[in-house]
């Protein structure tokens, strides 16, 4: 099966993309990102269980990235609260945390 998917070995592929007008498409096929995508597609085409496992892994990675981003935001908010309690200037807090002035003003106790 791999031989049929390899653009270097597939006669039909070469006939379609081997012309000068499609040279950029053929060159793009040598890009590492595209190679990875083609490998993933080939792998996922094999069976439903492999596809299920791949999708579960992708969901896990996405969830983990979301949790990390949420923790970073929570950390910035805690730092901003501490800086506010120390009486530091709003602009300094904006610069230190990356939060907006509005977000920092919302953290101030009423």
What is the Cα–Cα distance from 22 to 17, expressed in whole angstroms? 5
pLDDT in tens, 9-25: 566 666 666 665 665 66
Stated pTM of the model: 0.49
Domain boundaries, the chain: 15-107
pLDDT at site 2: 47
Would you tell me how many other CB atoms lie within 10 Å of the CB of residue 53?
A: 12
What is the Cα–Cα distance from 68 to 61, expressed in whole angstroms? 11
What is the Cα–Cα distance from 22 to 61, expressed in whole angstroms? 36
pLDDT at site 13: 60
What is the Cα–Cα distance from 5 to 39, expressed in whole angstroms? 9
- pLDDT tens sequence for the chain (110 residues): 444 455 555 666 666 666 656 656 666 666 777 777 777 777 777 778 877 888 899 899 999 999 999 999 999 999 999 999 999 999 999 999 999 999 999 998 76
């Amino acid at each position: 099966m791999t031989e049929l998917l390899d653009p270097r070995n597939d006669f039909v592929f070469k006939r379609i993309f081997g012309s000068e007008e499609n040279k950029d498409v053929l060159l793009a096929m040598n890009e590492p990102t595209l190679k990875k995508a083609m490998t993933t597609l080939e792998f996922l085409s094999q069976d439903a269980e492999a596809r299920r496992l791949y999708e579960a892994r992708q969901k896990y990675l996405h969830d983990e990235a979301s949790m990390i981003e949420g923790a970073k935001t929570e950390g910035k908010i805690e730092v901003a609260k501490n800086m506010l309690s120390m009486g530091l200037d709003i602009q300094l807090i904006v610069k230190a945390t990356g939060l907006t002035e509005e977000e920092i003003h919302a953290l101030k106790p009423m």
